[in-house]
Structure 1
């Protein structure tokens, strides 16, 4: 059992990691020559201001009286600048947003996961190409550009990380700090000759990262007065900043200004997913080399309705992709475009000669083409010549300044397509290897189930007459051929794993394939129609679970169908009360997938009802306290009094004790399960902000009913030796002689388990809620921004319903006299079939949200499978072990 568990874990880890090599590899290539426009740039310096978390509509929408909350920027838009919307890509987070803005490429997900402040890969940026760059702002953003720059010409000034507190009385002070520091910087430069000399040089950049808007949005929501007032503060600060800069440089007209945002924010104060409120950010550019406001009389091509809402339909709107801003900034000050940039220069922002525009666009095209050539060369060197299929490009060469700008734009478009082509060159090959291994593993598990637990009639098998050494030699030959092929192509080490793993898997399948012959010969004695009916229902159920990943309401449909199971199976006549409890429990749980996953307003009083639903034990007082702590925390934060220290102590103590307290209780079935439920629910309460607080008690109620009703199902099947629930002790040794063979009904039990696991994950959330969670959920624990601790707390919140379902399944295994391995193998097959389904649904076309979601589904199912393997061990310990902190002294009698 241990060997099989470890092998299965390794296989699934390999399948899980394969998706990163296929879809999450870094798009960066190195070795290109930087490209810069030879003509003199229009600006000597550039000021980049990023209002972190600022939505486009929050800036552009006018107040009810027709005035703007950002009058200075509004004046720039209407009189002396060019404006538009910058479209961001998923994930809409600070790090990838700033990388796209400043480096010009969209960072792969693996890089985001490897480091928030550090650089997992070296990449070029506009800051790196500048002569000097001075930065002010958050310690979470600035260091990655300083550490990624060559030389020592990027200077950062950051405030302490503790200042990023969502419970701050006034988060806009973060932006005030930046503006104050910039003002002091220019003031000190007047008396510092060396600094002044550096400032008077060309190709300089000043970067202001303003985190106050984002922090206020998380703490108070984007519709709050704090968030909107912070926009006004930023607008005033920019006006003063421009005055200071222009005064320092004697109004030489050589300064360009760019104001934008890294991402937006939902109405409920979160970001990370692909909602328009998160992906639409403002872009305002003015100053040296920038086109002045261009008035139009004809209707513009944008039909999203925003122009009319913002009262800007009379001014030309120029939308860009976020990565396009990097080549725009580079062209304004005459530095090379970052070598890894995939941005396309938005010419409508430039106010210069046609020759300058053509030269700049030509430079942009050559810069992208350099990446294409490098990518093609790398792939050609690692592919056998007769297998290499080049990308058919309609490139024209050589280009010159006399060529039309449209030809350069066409060149950029085809070069970017070629980059994608070579970046995904091995995708089909790797995908086939993974699928081959997947199918082989699933086939092997099915054969193991049939051989070990199905009680088939044994017959001599023709396949077993094939000598084992013949199969071994065949596998060795295949392994040598694959290895030589990969060696010649100089493939990465991971390729060997993906391509060689199917060999031992299929070797095991061929060795066990005699079991298939036994099944065929036993077919006449099997209830074929009943078997066919079960498999059809399970196949339909698997498809329902697959669809539920896209539409959570399908879980409601599934729970409604499950609710009538006792009536259809005949259990209602034998256990009316339990059948009705099952019916009501399923319907109550079915309400949660219909509730919104994000955007919920805090409903603190629901937690009081939750406390009433819990059973009166010695832990009830603790649960009641935990239900009250979020209310006190919410009130304190609303009054801007910060997070009370006592609440924080209670929260962290509850979290730390949630895995210890159940181990102190009795190992009797209901005592231990109730203790687990109350302990985990106390933590869940502290991480809840609304109706999801009711989810654990409703789920636990249904799980208790499931345990009881499975006992009735066993009795209806006439299973002898059925153990009464009241007598079950988790710590008791299982009598192996009472372990029975698998029955068709065990397939239903396994499917129920998978269904409830999916419901536990999606019942109160989905992909959007994971990518775009509400930070208010963790305010009982901390309010200072820390992405890893906050992410860990949210993951624990997700795991808690898992543990409740896993403990229930552990109980059912004991109560139905079935080995844990038997049911778990069926669960493994169902999960792997779902994972294989999602593997085929992964796509690399369409919107970035569609691509990311399709990959996320596969990752979630594979993570769930691996996680369930590990969690089954944890759950077994959680239910069977007991801690004895003290023992009563033995009494000695004479």
Structure 2
């Protein structure tokens, strides 16, 4: 086989290895820092005794912010007069603090199952459970659930005693607003009670004990996405929900007449001002909770020991009690260990969810002090039992078991609490119970991350080994000190077998074997190449000194890019420093190109200064489309001369080129008419929807067919522009316009320097959204294609929007490399290797405590840095197709 073809095969294998490596290691943080919180092998506690309530009504106002609920409207007073009267006359209230990710699925899991899903669970979909878990619906006698098909099946599938009534998915149309969804739920509840009047079976079921009614109200969330949470539509939906809850409560009280119903009104997450959620912004994590009815405390006057509430809420006269979201589950299903092993519930008497980690908020209970402390004590024992099961499980599989020191002698703590309760020392018992709960939760986290040091060391060794492996591969390509580098890597097999035996004895998950295999492979190869590495280090001392300086400069640049993940403004300084580069080092004949480069760099430097959450701006979006149209015509001007050239073979290419350019202004018209239609609440026009879909569908055909001119980059830009305009809701379309224009090297074959693909791609990404959270990419970007809630389609469109600048920059970089006769594979591998320094840095910056916004941001940084490398590797392959087309076209045009 020719040497060149063999080299191509080596490169292909290395890139494939890099893709697999980064896919596997991107998932490693969940095993290192965020193992699943679920504990298996426990049984529900049997429920006995008579609870204060026979039934519970859980009402969740999806997407309801605490401030928008509590604050008074300056014109009309409170937006929720009925629930405000509950706060002042009948019940208890506060703020429920949610956790990242502030999405519907993990929010409802916390409310109903009492535990927080690990971050990886949200990647497995909105509608189904990634793993089976217990919820208090499972332990109820009967549960009736009404609402969205995206939420209810998570808890009700394959559970015979849970009855669901759901509207069609097509009803979740952002263009139509969301109020009708809540009206639908209230109507179905009314119909159920009417059916019960004429159906003895339903009536008997509804009079059983331990029954639950779950009302999921999606309208507030839908209107928040469509119109923002400061809109009249959002406020009107709050008023509609309040009126609906008032009517439903009246129906329950009139039907049962026994004062044995408990009500809880809350939300799964809030809503940011730009109409999104998902991150740890205060508007997303603070939701209301109002509880009233059987077993629930009434209003208590404020004596100064309540949590702070803003003055505009006008609730400072009553004591508010804040809770964590998971605390609502034990409040609903709480329990109390009394004498003679009799278990009594605080509300409806169902067993607690097996993996509940919520702490019972006893301030909400209208019971005796003894009852409250007994309830809290049972809560503590339930969480302690999870810790014990987890500890025993790890002890059985660990070769060198290290116990959790604070609970190594937990029996003495239990005996102390029992004695305090027996001596009626309730205040001391409460403090001891809370301390035991805190220690148990710390112990659970300790065992969830028990292997973190081993895994962190393995993964770090994998990243360092990969970087060294890539550098050695490039050195072999350029220096050729030793051509006989093919070795039978027995060291890889032996080292992996040793680790595999250790992992098997510890019954480690299968992913651990993959984590271990990579450093075994990389480092054994480096070990077998130690003689060659020594020769490289001794090869040309002056050259190596310069190389070391160069590597240090690259590492400094990479760490600067790390800082830019936290402070986007750093990228502005990078672009401003790059602006004069061609003017200082370029060829005099390319002064115009240098001036253009300086201008585009300066303009691009402005975008990182714009807040990522600046929201939708139709004017900026249309302006970006107009600028794109102008640039498209300017880039194609010199080729329009061929329109007057009567070459029949070019006729088809001419027509296609003109059509691609005309699609941009057409997209602007579609965007404007669609936005106007949505603002008039007339829905998404069918014609616009079809034009949008066909525009995206036509892209592959128009991109793969060879254009008739040399300027393939401009042609690809023109092809991508209509789709990007359709997905843009603000000034992000401006960023996609920045691309390389150095297609004509000087006589020496050099331009004088250019930024690498890594920095260009990073700038492209920052131009389209906030790297810390996918929530910064507003869902309204997808409204030009569909207004019906389709999470996977909408996410795909947002991801496609992000990939477009990446694709343009990757193609530009490869064209520049080829025109400058730079080894583009080597450039790519250097970028990947040094970008992994960034990934390794983010691995050590992962946060597991502090604010959930910080935790979520640290996870996003690591995940995005790995995904960013993967995209570069995949685009390297994808651009090969475009470059092959370019070469074909160049040969055709030379012939013509």
Instruction: Indicate whether the TM-score tops 0.5.
Output: yes
| Contact in 1 for aligned 2:769/2:777 (Cα 8 Å) | no
Alpha-carbon distance in structure 1 between the residues aligned to 2:266 and 2:469 = 55
Matching residue of 1:369: 384
Alpha-carbon distance in structure 2 between the residues aligned to 1:282 and 1:474 = 60
The Cα RMSD (Å) is: 2.4
| Contact in 2 for aligned 1:669/1:811 (Cα 8 Å) | no
2:198 aligned counterpart, secondary structure: coil
1:57 to 47, 67, 75: 67
Alpha-carbon distance in structure 2 between the residues aligned to 1:459 and 1:86 = 66
Map 1:576-725; keep pairs closer than 5 Å: 576-604=591-619, 605-616=622-633, 617=636, 618=658, 619-666=660-707, 669-670=710-711, 672-697=712-737, 699-700=738-739, 703-705=740-742, 707-708=743-744, 711-712=745-746, 714-715=748-749
| Contact in 2 for aligned 1:391/1:421 (Cα 8 Å) | no
Matching residue of 2:175: 167
- Does the alignment pair 1:853 with 2:857? yes
Matching residue of 2:559: 543
Q: CA deviation at 1:41?
A: 1.7
Matching residue of 1:146: 156
2:330 to 327, 330, 345: 327
Which stretch shows the higher mean deviation, 2-11 or 422-431?
Answer: 2-11
| Contact in 1 for aligned 2:765/2:771 (Cα 8 Å) | no
2:566 aligned counterpart, secondary structure: coil
Check 1:713–1:551 CA distance in 2 against 1; reply closer, same or farther (3 A cut).
farther
1:643 aligned counterpart, secondary structure: coil
Alpha-carbon distance in structure 2 between the residues aligned to 1:25 and 1:148 = 27
Q: CA deviation at 1:188?
A: 1.3
Q: Which runs of 5 or more structure 2 residues have no equivalent in the other structure?
A: 1-10, 335-346, 637-657
Alpha-carbon distance in structure 2 between the residues aligned to 1:560 and 1:840 = 30
1:249 to 242, 251, 256: 256
- Does the alignment pair 1:360 with 2:375? yes
Q: What are the Cα deviations for residues 757-780 of structure 1, in whole angstroms up to 9, with x where unaligned? A: 111111231235513432211111
1:478 to 495, 515, 520: 495
Alpha-carbon distance in structure 2 between the residues aligned to 1:221 and 1:476 = 58
1:256 aligned counterpart, secondary structure: strand
2:540 aligned counterpart, secondary structure: helix
1:121 aligned counterpart, secondary structure: coil
Check 1:301–1:175 CA distance in 2 against 1; reply closer, same or farther (3 A cut).
closer
Matching residue of 2:7: none
Matching residue of 1:723: none
2:581 to 540, 544, 565: 565
| Contact in 1 for aligned 2:772/2:857 (Cα 8 Å) | no
Check 1:494–1:536 CA distance in 2 against 1; reply closer, same or farther (3 A cut).
closer
Check 1:341–1:714 CA distance in 2 against 1; reply closer, same or farther (3 A cut).
farther
Q: Give the TM-score normalised by structure 1.
A: 0.89
Matching residue of 1:407: 432
Check 1:479–1:539 CA distance in 2 against 1; reply closer, same or farther (3 A cut).
closer
Q: What are the Cα deviations for residues 448-472 of structure 1, in whole angstroms up to 9, with x where unaligned? A: 212212x37x4899xx9xx967xx5
Q: What are the Cα deviations for residues 63-112 of structure 1, in whole angstroms up to 9, with x where unaligned? A: 11462111001111111111100001111111111111111111122222
Alpha-carbon distance in structure 1 between the residues aligned to 2:492 and 2:876 = 33
Alpha-carbon distance in structure 2 between the residues aligned to 1:280 and 1:595 = 26
1:784 aligned counterpart, secondary structure: coil
1:684 aligned counterpart, secondary structure: helix
Matching residue of 1:891: none
1:29 aligned counterpart, secondary structure: coil
- Does the alignment pair 1:788 with 2:792? yes
| Contact in 2 for aligned 1:127/1:154 (Cα 8 Å) | yes
Alpha-carbon distance in structure 2 between the residues aligned to 1:54 and 1:807 = 44
Matching residue of 2:21: 11
Alpha-carbon distance in structure 1 between the residues aligned to 2:157 and 2:385 = 25
Q: CA deviation at 1:25?
A: 3.1
Check 1:77–1:677 CA distance in 2 against 1; reply closer, same or farther (3 A cut).
same
Q: CA deviation at 1:11?
A: 2.4
Alpha-carbon distance in structure 1 between the residues aligned to 2:496 and 2:616 = 58
1:48 aligned counterpart, secondary structure: strand
Alpha-carbon distance in structure 1 between the residues aligned to 2:122 and 2:825 = 38
1:206 aligned counterpart, secondary structure: strand
Check 1:716–1:307 CA distance in 2 against 1; reply closer, same or farther (3 A cut).
closer
Matching residue of 2:337: none
| Contact in 2 for aligned 1:51/1:260 (Cα 8 Å) | yes
Matching residue of 2:339: none
| Contact in 1 for aligned 2:303/2:319 (Cα 8 Å) | no
Matching residue of 2:774: 770
| Contact in 2 for aligned 1:85/1:283 (Cα 8 Å) | yes
1:260 to 266, 269, 279: 266
Q: CA deviation at 1:154?
A: 0.9
Which stretch shows the higher mean deviation, 508-517 or 617-626?
Answer: 508-517
| Contact in 2 for aligned 1:479/1:503 (Cα 8 Å) | yes
Q: What are the Cα deviations for residues 196-218 of structure 1, in whole angstroms up to 9, with x where unaligned? A: 11111111111100111111111
| Contact in 1 for aligned 2:37/2:118 (Cα 8 Å) | yes
Map 1:36-55; keep pairs closer than 5 Å: 40-55=50-65
Q: CA deviation at 1:649?
A: 0.8
1:881 aligned counterpart, secondary structure: helix
Map 1:83-482; keep pairs closer than 5 Å: 83-147=93-157, 149=159, 152-168=160-176, 170-250=177-257, 252-298=258-304, 300-302=306-308, 306-331=309-334, 332-384=347-399, 386-393=400-407, 395=410, 396-398=413-415, 399-400=417-418, 401-402=421-422, 404-453=429-478, 455=479, 458=481, 472-482=489-499
Check 1:860–1:280 CA distance in 2 against 1; reply closer, same or farther (3 A cut).
same
Matching residue of 2:648: none
Q: Which runs of 5 or more structure 1 residues have no equivalent in the other structure?
A: 718-744, 889-894
| Contact in 2 for aligned 1:610/1:693 (Cα 8 Å) | no
1:314 aligned counterpart, secondary structure: coil
Q: What are the Cα deviations for residues 430-455 of structure 1, in whole angstroms up to 9, with x where unaligned? A: 111111121111111111212212x3
Check 1:387–1:136 CA distance in 2 against 1; reply closer, same or farther (3 A cut).
closer
Alpha-carbon distance in structure 1 between the residues aligned to 2:215 and 2:118 = 25
Map 1:736-775; keep pairs closer than 5 Å: 752-768=756-772, 770-775=774-779
Check 1:473–1:647 CA distance in 2 against 1; reply closer, same or farther (3 A cut).
closer
Check 1:344–1:186 CA distance in 2 against 1; reply closer, same or farther (3 A cut).
same
Q: CA deviation at 1:848?
A: 2.1
Alpha-carbon distance in structure 2 between the residues aligned to 1:126 and 1:553 = 48
